[in-house]
Amino acid sequence: MKAVLQRVSKASVTIEGEISAKIGNGLLILLGIEEADTQDDIEWLCRKIINMRIFGDENNAMNNSLKDVDGDAIVVSQFTLHASTKKGNRPSFIKAAKPDFAEPMYEKFVAHFEKEFGKKIGTGEFGADMKVELLNDGPVTILIDSKEKS
């Protein structure tokens, strides 16, 4: 399971002209799921994201977590995080999980994140054509891969 965290001043997701999620200060999380992912990956990644100290403290040093700053979050499923670009110029998405596996894992991730975080988060819509807008704060962008946790 891969996640791209973007610390944002604001972010939104629009589907078919309607805003489905909108936040101020917080994280926009792009989530890529592969067939090898498990509940353990969900739990580890949620815990890691929620406690990642990437928000400024009173001295503007990155010492605060999403919880510490009472930030918000949006999670958007993005299979393209598992693109392989080794051969040719057309990416291969063979490592990305098929929708019948990925969608329930995405829903489990969102549910577990909300449980651990203690409040509702915004989401995109699995498989939809989404327009994602953000104002990256910093900029701060972090890539986390649950397969590299050891």
Q: Which of 80, 85, 123, 141 is catalytic?
A: 80
Sign of the alpha-carbon torsion through 88, 94, 95, 97: positive
80 is catalytic: yes
Query: Which residue type occupies 146?
Result: S
Q: Specify which residues 142 forms β-bridges with.
A: 5
Concatenating the DSSP letter of every residue in 57-102 gives -TTS-EEE-TTTTT-EEEEEE-GGGG-B-SSSSS-B-TTBPPHHHH
- List the catalytic residues: 80
